[in-house]
Structure 1
Amino acid sequence: MKSINRFCAASIVTASIAAAAIWSPVQANAAAPVVSAKQSVGQFTQSSVVRDKNGNYIIRWKANQDLGSAKVYWSTSPDQIEKNGKELARTYTRYNGLVAADPKPGQRVYFLIKGGNGATIKAAERAVELQGVVNFRDLGGYATSDGRHVKWGKLFRSGELAGLTDADKLQLKTIGLKTIIDYRSNAEVAQKPDPALSGATNIRMPAMKEVEGSSNATDLNSLIATGDLSALGKPGEMLVEANKGLVQAPDAYVSLMDALLAEKTAPIVQHCTAGKDRAGLGSAIILLTLGVSESTVMDDFLLSNVYRAEANKQAMAYMGTIIKDADALASLQALMEVRQEYLQAAIDTMKQQYGSIDGFIEKGLGVSKAERAKLQAMYLE
Structure 2
Amino acid sequence: FAAAPLPALERVANFRELGGLATRDGRRVRRARVFRSGHWGRASAADVAALDALGVAVVVDFRSEKDVAHEGADRLPDGCAHLHLPTADPAAHLDTRDIILSGDAALVRAHFGDGRAERSMRASAEKLAVERTDVFGAFLAKLAEPGCPPALFHCSAGKDRAGWAASCLLLALGVGEDDVVEHYLVSNRTYDAAMQHGALPALPDEVLALVRPLLQVRAEYAHAAIGAARARFGTLDAYFREGLGLADEQREQLRANWLEPA
The answer to whether TM tops 0.5 is: yes
Bigger strand share: 1
Which bracket does the TM-score occupy, shorter chain normalised?
0.7 to 0.9
Confirm or deny: 8 A CA contact 2:49 2:77 kept in the other structure: no
Equivalence for 2:117: 235
1:268 corresponds to 2:151: yes
How much does 1:196 deviate? 3.8
Q: 2: CA distance between counterparts of 1:251 and 1:330?
A: 35
Confirm or deny: 8 A CA contact 2:63 2:89 kept in the other structure: no
Structure with the larger RCO, 1 or 2 (CA within 8 Å, 6+ apart):
2
Pairing of 1:177-326 with structure 2 (within 5 A): 177-192=56-71, 193-208=73-88, 219-224=95-100, 225=102, 227=104, 228-229=107-108, 230-232=110-112, 234-249=116-131, 250-313=133-196, 314-315=198-199, 318-320=202-204, 326=206
Q: What SS does the aligned partner of 1:235 have?
A: helix
Q: 2: CA distance between counterparts of 1:306 and 1:231?
A: 26
135, 160, 165: which one aligns with 2:44: 165
Q: 2: CA distance between counterparts of 1:240 and 1:364?
A: 20
Amino acid of the residue matched to residue 99 of structure 2? L
Bigger helix share: 2
Amino acid of the residue matched to residue 277 of structure 1? D
Provide structure 2 residue ranges, at least 5 long, that are not aligned to the other structure: none
How much does 1:312 deviate? 4.0
Provide structure 1 residue ranges, at least 5 long, that are not aligned to the other structure: 1-120, 211-215
Confirm or deny: 8 A CA contact 1:208 1:246 kept in the other structure: no
Task: Give percent identity, aligned residues only.
Answer: 32
Deviations along 1:255-309, whole A, 9 cap, x unmatched?
Answer: 1012112244321111011101100010010000000000110110000112331
Q: What SS does the aligned partner of 1:331 have?
A: helix
1:339 corresponds to 2:221: no
Q: 2: CA distance between counterparts of 1:208 and 1:289?
A: 23
How much does 1:202 deviate? 1.6
How much does 1:217 deviate? 7.7
CA 1:217–1:343 in structure 2 vs 1: closer, same or farther (change >3 Å)? closer
Deviations along 1:209-233, whole A, 9 cap, x unmatched?
Answer: 99xxxxx787234323272123346
Amino acid of the residue matched to residue 170 of structure 2? L
Amino acid of the residue matched to residue 137 of structure 1? R
- TM-score norm. by structure 1 comes to 0.61
CA 1:306–1:265 in structure 2 vs 1: closer, same or farther (change >3 Å)? same
Could you say which structure has the larger radius of gyration?
Answer: 1
Count of aligned residue pairs for this structure pair: 250
Deviations along 1:176-205, whole A, 9 cap, x unmatched?
Answer: 111111111111101112114212122110
Q: 2: CA distance between counterparts of 1:221 and 1:298?
A: 27
230, 252, 255: which one aligns with 1:351: 230
> RMSD between aligned alpha carbons?
2.2
Equivalence for 1:140: 19
Confirm or deny: 8 A CA contact 1:128 1:137 kept in the other structure: no
Amino acid of the residue matched to residue 217 of structure 2? V
Amino acid of the residue matched to residue 149 of structure 2? A
Q: Which runs of 4+ in 1 moved over 4 A?
A: none
Deviations along 1:119-146, whole A, 9 cap, x unmatched?
Answer: xx35233x54211111110100111001
Q: 1: CA distance between counterparts of 2:220 and 2:95?
A: 26
Q: 2: CA distance between counterparts of 1:274 and 1:209?
A: 9
Q: What SS does the aligned partner of 2:117 have?
A: coil
Confirm or deny: 8 A CA contact 1:207 1:251 kept in the other structure: no
Q: 1: CA distance between counterparts of 2:41 and 2:84?
A: 15
Q: 2: CA distance between counterparts of 1:351 and 1:243?
A: 13
Amino acid of the residue matched to residue 129 of structure 2? V
